[in-house]
A and B are shown apart, each in its own frame.
Chain A
Amino acid sequence: MAAALQTLDAGAVAADPDAARKRRSNHSKAKSSRKRLRQRTTPMGTAKHQKPTEKMKKLFRKRAREYHSDEEEDDVDKEFPEDPSSDEEKDEDLGVGDYGSGGSEGDEEDEEGVKHGITRLLEGCRAFKVAFAKIMKRNLPDDPLGPILSAHKKLVAEKLAEEDSEQKMKGESKKQRHSADEKGHTKPDNFLDAKEKFLISVATKGVVKLFNAVSKAQSSQSGLNPSSSKDAKVLAKRRKQAFFSELQKPTPQISDSNKGNNNEPGWAPLRDSYMLTHSKLKDWDKMAEPAAAISGERVLSDSSSDGE
């Protein structure tokens, strides 16, 4: 019977647990009785010093059984045909324990549980052996996933694919965010294109115009001391005249560039309001009102008259 047990794998045990239990229960009774006997007949040295309690005894027994479990199998086999009733009788004869009437039953149950554990361990050992051998014998195919012990090979593959796609998604979203952040951001070329050259020339013209105006204005006042009040008055007069004359001078070069703009001073430094006006933004719409009322033409003529 036990031999049959050994060959059984875990699945078979699970399939028929009741039967196994029955067998075990028989088996246990036989074994336990024998042990008790043995203990009684051979008084141990340790017992003399200190009488172990019933619980401790049980524990010891259990441990011993576990220790001898492999060796005892054969014994059990031999003893198995023994009549269980006789065992019980023996038990009673020996008068082990002060169990009372129900004690024997409780004992039985206990023993059964212990026995169960042992067999389970045994079977587990065997099952593990078999399974391990089986795995080690297996010839592994060349798999991109590598050797996977798990039976859920498909699941693993799925999971990996999922992770991969997830990462891709993440990268894409990051890229998108980056491109959204970079919207409008352009890296300039290493050379100056026509537009940039034009802009630089416009700015240069502005600077030249200003510098020339400044030098004219400042050279006219040289030789006069601005700290004395008399000279200051003269200076103020001269400044005004010099500046206006400077601005009212028609500059051919710039008017050429402005031909495209309907003769308007498209360029701020050309207007006499440039850098002179302390234009208050407060009144800007009040200034505009009459122009708006008459319509755009008035504005045009206005600005052109300003310019020249």
Chain B
Amino acid sequence: MARFNHKKRRGLVKPPVVKNQPTVDQITGQKIPKSFVFSRGRLPGPVRQLELDLRKLMLPHTALKLKEKKRNKLKDFLNVAGPMGVTHFLMLSYPMSSPHLRVARTPQGPTLTFEVQEYSLAADIARSQSRPSYPKELCDNSPLIVLSGFGGGDQHLKLTTIMFQNIFPAIDINTVKLSTCRRIVLLNYNSETKLIDFRHYSIRLQPVGVTRRIRKFVQKHEIPDLRNLKDVSEFVTRVGYGSESEADEESATVDLASDIGRVNRASNKSAVRLQEIGPRMTLRLVKIEEGLCSGNVIFTEFGKEVENAHPETQEE
């Protein structure tokens, strides 16, 4: 009976509207990596939220509203991935009551398995900030990725680097518009603890040497409050409270090739300000498999690298 009903319902379902997303970058001609973020098995509430946050992080080249069912096997996702041009899978699971993240390349692998030792959701981070901001426009472009501390020369680190570099579309320095670089994902490897810190920041540019009042005036297009001023010139000359000295560090200023927005002109210097958004994770690389969640184990956390086709084995 239920089966019959199910069949009946299926007839009414509209075919999904497939947006014609380009699989190839129009300017650079490179293939755009796309990703699926989904869960394997039951996830507790906060980890499920983490999954949603990760999807938001992977925008725009990901399926934000990917519907997954209990009975969905990995093969189902793989079958869809081919025609949709999905190149990466991010799988969250909760085995042995600790969250794990698997990052896999489709369809052949390899698969990196991380244990998520600590994580904070985007909401937690927003709650910890006095002035959180996560405008939707941030998600219109894919984030930059910065990998730091991975240069130890170990094979598994190299592989991790390559994997994460390829998860987001590569940028061509000659053609890229800086106004599209609004977010950054940082992966910092700590060689002592062997943990990877995963952070997600929004990039803000502020002109150097301009008071906050004038900046806001230019940005917001609003009539300023002049009640407490004796003269109009005071609006410009009066020194506002709050120090701008932090932003004026030489290391954090850039010269822009072109204007970005109304405030940041190419003619003057801009300061780079980062504000944390999105999820925060501390990852530990547990193992690397050759295939997609299968195949030979190339690396495990215990230092035993399984010997496969190669006679030479490496230490660590």
Contact = CB atoms under 8 A, between A and B. Distances in A.
B274 A204 contact: yes
Interface string B29-43: 010000000000000
Contact of A268 (B110, B146, B170, B252): B146
B288 to A, nearest CB: 11
Interface in A165-188: 180-188
B158 A188 contact: no
Nearest to A219: B257
B299 to A, nearest CB: 11
Looking at A185, A186, A296, A300, the one whose CB has the most chain B CB atoms below 10 A away is A185
B23 interface: no
Interface in B137-162: 144, 146-153, 155, 158-159, 161-162
B174 A206 contact: no
B178 A211 contact: yes
Looking at A190, A196, A218, A261, the one whose CB has the most chain B CB atoms below 10 A away is A218
A300 B153 contact: yes
Interface residues of B, number: 71
B184 A184 contact: no
Interface residues of A, number: 64
A187 B124 contact: yes
B219 interface: no
Q: Is the interface of B mostly helix, strand, loop or mixed?
A: mixed
A179 to B, nearest CB: 10
Contacts of B203: 207
Interface in A262-280: 264-269, 271, 274-275, 278-279
B186 A202 contact: yes
A151 interface: no
A292 interface: yes
Nearest to B281: A184
12 contacts: A184-B98, A187-B120, A187-B128, A199-B199, A203-B186, A203-B199, A208-B254, A210-B171, A210-B173, A214-B257, A261-B151, A266-B149
Q: What 7 A-B pairs are tightest by C-beta distance, nearest first?
A: A181-B44, A206-B146, A215-B257, A218-B257, A268-B147, A266-B151, A211-B254
